Structure 1
Amino acid sequence: MTLDFIIYKYFPFGGQQRDFFRIAEQCVERGHTIRVYTLSWEGPKIEGMELTLVPVNAFSRHKLYERFNNWVQAELARKSAQNIIGFNKIPGLKIYYAADPCFEEKAVNQRAFYYKLSARYKHFSAFETAVFNEDSNTEVLLLSPQQKRDFIKHYPRCGRRLHLVPPGITDDRKFPENAEQIRTEFRKDFSFDDNKLVILQVGSGFRIKGVDRSLRAIAALPEFIRSRVEYILVGKDKPGKYLKLAKKLGITEQVTIFRGRDDVPRFLLGSDLLLHPAYSESAGYVLLEATIAGLPVLTTASCGYAFHIEEAESGEVCVEPYKQSDLNSRLQSMLKGLSDSKWSANGVRYGKEKDLYSLPSKAVDYIEKFCSQTAGTSQ
């Protein structure tokens, strides 16, 4: 089959982008022809993939996406494309891979009332409605039960088209036999002695990942704990705002920011706690990556995969509605109890017992199933 994949931007370090790459790669391995439409591409390409960089520009993001959609729809119509798989919400999809949370849910709970008057709101609301309203035939692949609840809440008749897929954690995140050696070498490389408490946060898009919450929680620690803390942030975004906040909070010397790395497994094994107080997250792969690597996790209930942390008993989850004081208290308590807790062992065991790895194959199974139902699968 010929499959047309649509994603606004591709870069190697995003969770959405990683899923896109692995799903597209497996489609190629199964013998399908893949055509990809995107605004930009960073990193290696999939062999055999046909890549189109869409030549549109705009000053605002919603206008850019509107022009992108118009260009792509015209091109797909010219090619009589039928099997259209989107990794962002746009009209006319055969399948939508829901890497993002419900937009309407965010608009209600995280925005002021006047937000709905903006052009930005109208654009993203219209594009989400095109995927989920009762007149749509788009099949949707979901990452978490939380997403399913939110979409059904705002689009009550979409339930029959929602399909949960398991996580897709890669094998290199599993707890290895030489974990202690990797941890020792990591801490030696960064000059962290055994007394240091290394707090790790991983994720691109620092605002939505709650980096400001992390910095405030670290600053709120009592001095005898805070003086031992090293905070490492790994991800793609502009760090200036957060370095300024760290300076204001008096913790600049304890903050290190890396712009995405391909050796994240070393960081998971060498750190003492994963801090991930995201404002909103469809899934949160890093929560499971940390869990199966034996790294205790402190996160928020707004993350789709937070339920795994509770089920595995591999850390703690801040309840909704979020309170900074709750995060502060839990961070202090967890840092004090690291040596006596079972979080690490529980997480490693969870990784051995659960299917946390088969997302690409299950997603491609769905793609083949739904696209084979399209009249005329050869284009």
Structure 2
Amino acid sequence: MDLAFALYKYFPFGGMQRNFLRIAKACLARGHAVRVYVLEWQGEVPEGIELVRVPVRAVSNVGRYRRFSAWLARDLAQRPVDRVVGFNKMPGLDVYYAGDPCFAEKAERLRGPFYRFSSRFRHFSEYERAVFSPESRTQILMMSPVQMPMFIKHYGTPENRFHMLPPGISRDRCAPPDATKRRQRFREAQGIGQSELLLLQIGSGFRIKGVDRSLTALASLPPALSARTRLFIIGQDKADPYLRRAQQLNIADRITFFKGRDDIPDFLLGSDILIHPAYNENTGNVLLEAMVAGLPVLVTAICGFARFVSEADAGIVIPSAPFEQETLDRSLASMLADDDARARWSSNGIAFGKTADIYDMPERAADIIVGGALA
């Protein structure tokens, strides 16, 4: 088949972007032709992919997105394909990978009534409706059951158009046989002392991932625990506002920011807790990546994959509605102070990774994209 994939921006370290590329490669491996339309692409282009950088400009992102869709439709009319697969919500899709939460639900829950009169609201509502309305024929690849009832609530989407996928993490995140040696090498290279504790937070988009909450929790630790705890934060975003906040909290000397990187497995093996107090998170692959690496997790319940942390008993899930900073602060302090509990959560996460169906998402997605449901 000839397949077209559409997404606004690709960069190597985003969760949705990594899943897009793994699905595209799964389709390529089956002999299908893959053409990818983007506004922006960072990094190398894998062999076999035809990359089309859509040459549109506008004053606002909304304007660019609308022009992207119009340009895409014109190009596909001239060069038709068998399937159009979108990783952002837009009209004209045969398949949509639901990497983002329900916009209508977020607007209703988090925004005031005047937001509905904004051009941003009108645009994203229109594009979401184009995918989820009962009249649409778009098949929907869902990564988390949490969001499905919200789309049905707002749009009346028929349930038979949803296809639930397993999480799609890479097996290289699993704790290897030499995990202890790799942990030691990592900590020595990063200057982490034997008695020090290392918190890790991973995710692009520091605001939505709750980096501010993590900083507050670190600053709240009892003095003896605080003095030997450090926090590494990895992601594609501007660190300056958070560095200023860390200075205000007198913890700047214990915070290190890193851009997106390829050696995430070493960070997972070398840390003591993954902290992920997100404000909103449709899935959260990093939670599963931490678990199978043996890294205990502290996460808010709003994250779609937080349920796996609870099911495996691989850390602590704190309520998110309402979220209470004091609960996060207490949970972090108790996890850092309890070596035995961290060892138990670590073992449980590794055991979970050996039996759970969390690795085959790209192949299952490819089955649906080229399968009979869309004929």
SS in structure 1 at match of 2:299: strand
Look up the match of 1:2. 2
Q: Give the letter aligned to residue 112 of structure 1.
A: G
Supply the AA of the counterpart residue of 1:366: I
1:281·1:303 contact (CA, 8 Å) conserved in 2?
A: yes
Q: Deviations over 1:123-146 (max 9, x none)?
A: 111100110011111000000111
Equivalent position amino acid for 2:306 in 1:
A
Q: Distance in 2 between matches of 1:221 and 1:63?
A: 45
Per-residue deviation at 1:219?
1.1
Deviation track 1:50-93 (CA, whole Å, cap 9, x = no partner) reads 11001112222111111111111111122234411000000110
Alignment partners' CA distance in 1, 2:369 and 2:288:
25
Matched ranges for 1:230-269 at <5 A: 230-269=230-269
Q: Name the counterpart of 2:146.
A: 146
- CA–CA distance in structure 2, aligned partners of residues 158 and 277 of structure 1: 32
Aligned counterparts, 1:1-379, within 5 A = 1-321=1-321, 322-341=323-342, 342-370=344-372, 373=375
Task: Indicate the larger mover: 23-32 or 149-158.
Answer: 149-158
Give the aligned residue type for 2:349.
Answer: G
Letter in 2 for 1:19: N
Residues 83 and 371, structure 1, Cα contact 8 Å, conserved in 2: no
Q: Are the counterparts in 2 of residues 94 and 371 from structure 1 also a CA contact under 8 Å?
A: no
Query: How many Å apart are 1:207 and its aligned residue?
Result: 1.0
Q: Is the 8 A contact 1:147 1:282 kept in 2?
A: yes
Deviation at 1:371, TM superposition (A): 7.1
Task: Give the superposition deviation at 1:372.
Answer: 5.8
Provide runs of 4+ in structure 1 moved above 4 Å: none
- Listed as ranges, the gaps of 5+ residues in structure 2 are none
Shift of 1:104: 1.1
CA RMSD of aligned residues (A): 1.3
C-alpha spacing 1:112/1:250, structure 2 compared with 1 (3 Å)? farther
Structure 1 CA distance, aligned partners of 2:265 and 2:307? 22
How far, CA to CA, are the matches of 2:203 and 2:361 in structure 1?
20
Could you state the TM-score of these two structures normalised by the residue count of structure 1? 0.96
Q: Is the 8 A contact 2:94 2:374 kept in 1?
A: no
**Helix, strand or coil at the partner of 2:287:** helix
What are structure 1's unaligned runs of at least 5 residues? 374-379
Q: Matched residue pairs, number?
A: 373
The residue type paired with residue 160 of structure 1 is N
CA 1:159–1:174: 2 relative to 1, 3 Å = same
Q: Whole-Å Cα distance in 1 between the matches of residues 100 and 368 of structure 2?
A: 19
1:73-126 CA distances to partner (integer Å, 9 max, x unpaired)?
Answer: 111122234411000000110000111111112112222332222111111111
Give a deviation string over 1:142-181, Cα, whole Å, max 9, x none: 0011121222222233322111100111111001100000
Give aligned-pair identity as a percent. Answer: 49
Given that residues 276 and 299 in structure 2 are in contact (C-alpha distance below 8 angstroms), is that contact kept between their aligned partners in structure 1?
yes
